[in-house]
Amino acid sequence: MSDTLKIGTKEFTSRFLLGTGKFSLEKTAEAVNAADAQIVTMALRRAKEAGSSNILEYIPDTVTLLPNTSGARNAREAVRIARLAREVGCGDFIKIEVIRDTKYLMPDNAETIKATEILADEGFTVLPYVTPDLNTARDLENAGAAAVMPLAAPIGSNKGLLTKEFIQMLIDDIDLPVIVDAGIGKPSEACAAMEMGADAVLANTAVATAKDVVSMAKAFKMAVDAGRKAYLAGLGRVLYQGGDASSPLTGFLED
């Protein structure tokens, strides 16, 4: 009866992951709660900072931390950041983010595969962030990834589900949870990803750039749940030609 998301050895009932960049620390706890997020991402830098600005103080204890390797330009740097994250107490979950392009910030799939292999061997629960590509996803599966996180659109763009066709291939053919990450700009787009059969959605910029951050976090959670429910309920057919009346069109007046 329970519909849970399993990643590594953990199990989650929430399928909405929240990123914590670009908005104030003060809003963090409130947003995480509104989002009912059980996994929260943050840059390691923000976890390492001393004093009151350490983001960890603002994230509820019940939440699984998913530090990312933001700042890494290759596999070696990503591995180094991951190890540091574990050392400073962020746990075994790690989101691999390797970016050498500074204009569009597109992930480097090849370096991400390398880092995944190394870190999976070291016992990390590895969630690699990639441009959706079936061959890359298969390589990540073989490398020991615990999930795959394909981007919907360039990070921070709020452009929506531009890679739909390619994410669908991963959903259909890869035996790992597919968590749509980056580019989702509206709850309706998160809902659509879930309707396609994605296992979860992560949002950050779409929440952070809303006028009311906390309400938007909640709206995303609701939309993700709606999309999951619709997926499980089985969407109806699309009619490619003509219309089909819900109500009887003829005969009434002749009764």
Binding-site residue positions? 156, 182-183, 204-205
Instruction: Give the helix ranges, DSSP H, for 104-212.
Output: 109-121, 134-143, 164-173, 187-195, 205-208
Q: Given the complex with its own copies, which of 9 and 175 has the nearer CB atom?
A: 175
Q: List the one residue out of 189, 184, 188 whose CA is nearest residue 203.
A: 184
Q: What is the smallest separation between the CB atom of 68 and its own copies, expressed in angstroms? A: 6
Distance of CA 188 to the CA centre of its chain: 15
Q: For residue 255, give the 3-state DSSP assignment.
A: coil
Give the integer Cα–Cα distance in Å for 26 and 78.
28
Catalytic residues: 95
Q: What is the smallest separation between the CB atom of 222 and its own copies, expressed in angstroms? A: 4
Binding-site residue positions for 1-deoxy-D-xylulose 5-phosphate? 156, 182-183, 204-205
Q: What is the smallest separation between the CB atom of 9 and its own copies, expressed in angstroms? A: 26
Q: Residues with Cβ < 8 Å from 164, sequence gap 6 or more? A: 192, 196
Q: Given the complex with its own copies, which of 9 and 100 has the nearer CB atom?
A: 100
Q: Given the complex with its own copies, which of 9 and 135 has the nearer CB atom?
A: 135
